[in-house]
Amino acid sequence: MSTGAEREGAAFELMANERRRHVLSYLRGVTGTVSVDDLASQVIARELLDGGPVDPESVEATLRHVHLPKLDAAGLVEFDETRSEVVPTQVERANDHSETRSLEETSA
């Protein structure tokens, strides 16, 4: 059984990645199913706004093979790889940790 500190640590580890934060930020306002292609487009747009170089193929590949499986394993989304669909499940919970992390980063 995991302790509260372990669960919080796992949440912070998930939120340490900017791309996952972008995914969860977008999904916060979504109800229902989102295609991975649409999600990738949203993440690409956000990363372009942040001023970084963006490789669209890399964004989609890392979403499919790294970020969405991790978020699915954490119970924050349901990722159906076969259908290339994502359903937000516990996004609000993750965003609560993200906002805490953002406050910590700006006060450091």
CATH, residue 74: 1.10.10
Cα gap 108→87, rounded to integer Å: 34
Confidence of residue 90 (pLDDT cuts 50, 70, 90): confident
Identify the domain containing residue 89 by its residue range: 4-107
How many domains does the chain contain in total? 1
Confidence of residue 101 (pLDDT cuts 50, 70, 90): very low
Instruction: Mean pLDDT check: name the lowest of 26-35, 62-71, 84-93.
Output: 84-93
In three-state form (DSSP H/G/I as H, E/B as E, the rest C), the secondary structure along the chain is CCCHHHHHHHHHHHHCCHHHHHHHHHHHCCCCCEEHHHHHHHHHHHHHHCCCCCCHHHHHHHHHHHHHHHHHHCCCEEEECCCCEEEECCHHHHHHHHHHHHHHHHHC
